[in-house]
Structure 1
Amino acid sequence: MHTIVRFFQMGGFFMFPILLVLSAGIAISVERWIHLNRVKKENREMWEEVHPVLAQGDFDKARELVYEDNSAIAQMLSMGLARQGAVRRREDIEIAMEESLMEIIPQLEKRTPYLALLSNIATLFGLLGTIMGLITAFTAVASASPAEKAALLAASISEAMNCTAFGLMSAIPLLLIHARLSSTTGEIVGSLEMVSVKALNSISTFSKRAY
């Protein structure tokens, strides 16, 4: 712990902005991770319940199930099933579900892009802290005695590099988390598209039988 505190103190003023950026990134990461995992769980449970009903062609019961649920998959299916009760054209039902999907995707991606931005900001703060530290170091060395210059310069550069190191230590995990959350979001969107196609196929199959 003492080493960490000493490392932070030696980095100078710009260690504090980097710490704030890292804290904001962690807060966003935790919130997004919890939200996306909850969405995955709710979607899986809803699909396991409504899929057998759609496979049987009982669209009235399917409508009741999705209207009573608040999951993303229920929102999308409710739009399609509402059209299914009024029209028989596959294109109209597909457009309705695509419209709902366009509303859902921004909610899934919400705040995730900020992680990449915060990662870049942390890196830049680290570089800025290092540059400012080096400027201060060379200014101090200019007025020091020849015997002290080498030792003073080495110590000042070591302190300045701490800021870059902390910036990179903050940026790298944020980039990795951003990649993981983006991948999870892509999986959810892919599953919604798959459900949309399966629901459309079920509707088309039983509409043809009705004729």
Structure 2
Amino acid sequence: MFVALLSSLEGAAPAASGGGGAGGFMEAFKENPTFLAINLVVSAIVIALIVERASFQLGKYRVNSKEFFAQIKKLVTAGNIDRAIKLCDAGDYPTLQLVKAGLTHANKGPDEIDAAMSEKMGELKPAVEKRIGSLWSLANIATLVGLLGTVLGLIHTFGAVSAPGLSAADRQRILANGIAEAMYNTALGLGIAVTCMIAHLILHQRSKTIQHDLDATQERVFNLLTIQTRPGGY
């Protein structure tokens, strides 16, 4: 998104020394690269974080918990706890690990089952939210770096314009280039911030859905195992 915003600004803001577009951004970058470079680094971190978190959520949690629980329930009600545990070893997925934690304590009573599954939940839940909160910090950093680049760029520009001995054409060129540089800083910072906010909204909502699904799976497995182990069972 911030790339699209930057491209839009590049097309709209002409640079006096060679037109608009990518050339305008490159001229601004060559003139004063400090804050633009910082935000480009921030943008790379943001992209890497979003890709990593999205891949984790879509990869590790692609198991349909309801269908998987239905298979486990058939095995447990048939007394095939060992086969149910082997089914959980089919992949390194958090949902399967949670179910396995309950199954391996199926014969040790409700307290042991609950303790084992709660301990496993304590390991799984933090991983779901990991690094997502950092997107807010990165959004603030990008915005402030962009604004700082804008302010310092304008200060430098107005100082250069006020220098004696410049023609009207030179003053106009310096002013246009300076304002363009300032706007590139602002646009890049705000574009990164908006991207971070949208990504945080999506990833955070997805993580809440995953956590709810884990809670529901824990409750289903606990109820299944405790009812199954009561006198009379099913």
- 1:27 match: 48
Q: Percent identity?
A: 29
The equivalent residue for 1:185 is 207
Check whether the contact 2:61–2:95 (CA below 8 A) recurs between aligned residues. no
Check the 8 A contact 2:61/2:93 in 1, yes or no: no
SS at match of 2:222: helix
Partner residue in 2 for 1:139: 159
Q: Deviations over 1:147-173 (max 9, x none)?
A: 849845465334312211111011101
Give the aligned CA root-mean-square deviation in angstroms: 2.7
**Structure 2 CA distance, aligned partners of 1:190 and 1:73?**
12
1:39 aligns with one of 48, 54, 60: 60
Structure 2 gaps of 5+ residues are: 1-6, 8-19
CA distance in 1, matches of 2:73, 2:50: 32
> 1:50 aligns to what?
72
Higher helix share: 1
Look up the match of 1:3: 21
The AA in structure 1 aligned to 2:85 is R
Q: CA deviation at 1:55?
A: 5.5
Q: Is the 8 A contact 1:63 1:82 kept in 2?
A: yes
Q: Is the 8 A contact 2:147 2:185 kept in 1?
A: yes
CA contact (8 A) 2:61 2:94 kept: no
- Match of 2:114? 94
Q: 2:39 aligns with which of 11, 18, 22?
A: 18
CA distance in 1, matches of 2:61, 2:203: 12
The alignment covers a number of residue pairs equal to 209
Quick check: 156-165 or 14-23, which moved more? 156-165
Residues 65-119 of structure 1 deviation map (CA, whole Å, 9 limit, x = unaligned):
224432101211222222222x12x233112111101111222223322222222
Distance change in 2, residues 1:113/1:26 (3 Å): same
| CA contact 1:57–1:206 (8 Å) conserved in 2 | no
Give the conservation status (yes or no) of the 8 Å contact 1:57–1:202: no
CA deviation after TM superposition for structure 1 residue 179, in Å: 1.6
Check 1:182–1:3 CA distance in 2 against 1; reply closer, same or farther (3 A cut). Answer: same
Match of 1:82 in 2: 104
Distance 2:193 2:153 in 1: 20
Q: Is the contact between residue 28 and residue 177 of structure 2 (CA under 8 Å) also seen in structure 1?
A: no
Match of 1:128 among 148, 154, 167: 148
Relative to structure 1, is the Cα distance of residues 18 and 72 closer, same or farther in structure 2, using a 3 angstrom cutoff? same
Alignment TM-score, normalising by the size of structure 1: 0.84
- Match of 2:125, SS state, is helix
Equivalent position to 1:202, from 221, 224, 229:
224
CA spacing shift, 1:5–1:184, aligned 2, 3 Å: farther
**Alpha-carbon contact 2:73-2:224 (below 8 Å) kept:** no
**Please, which moves more after superposition, 50-59 or 30-39?**
50-59
Q: Could you state the TM-score of these two structures normalised by the residue count of structure 2?
A: 0.77
